[in-house]
Amino acid sequence: MVDFGGDEQFTASDRLNVKMEPQCNKGAPEDLHIMYSATGFLLPCCLCDSTKANHDHFAAIGFFDEELRVENNDNLIDIVTSDAWNEFYNSLEDNPSGFGLPPECLKFCGVPYVHNKAIL
Ligand code: SF4
């Protein structure tokens, strides 16, 4: 995990020092990592709902919208293929600096990016 000194807000410069290695988006599609929160929602990992701040960050990108509550769906596929989930997974692709991702993702799934590694 990258140490950002407890700062939950990442500047663009901070993000350029990180390379995202999302744990929830590796392996084959059938290996999709999902957790079921006690609050009644599916989430990509347990961090999404582990603190109020984390919850608020993931709520801001739609993961806690009422139409995604498990009891409001007949099929879980409808949840994990919803706009919120698709947009989240799209933002993990070709986005090594994690722009637009919640800070928890950079803290948990970001590794230090060594600039100019080729000349070291
Ligand atoms: S912290 Fe973010 S990127 Fe990492 S596993 Fe959880 S949801 Fe995925």
Reported pTM: 0.83
Low-confidence ranges of the chain (pLDDT < 50): 1-7
Gap from CA of 44 to ligand 1 centroid (Å) = 6
CB 92 within 8 Å of CB 20? yes
Neighbours of 62 (CB within 10 A): 15
Instruction: Please report, in angstroms and rounded to a whole number, the separation of the first and last CA atoms in the chain.
Output: 22
CA 23 / ligand 1 centre spacing (Å)? 6
Q: What is the pLDDT of residue 4?
A: 42
Token match 């947009």: residue? 87
Of ligand 1's listed atoms, the one at least distance from the Cα of 108 is: 1
For tokens 């950079």, the residue is 106
For residues 110 and 116, what is the distance between their CA atoms, to the nearest angstrom?
Answer: 18
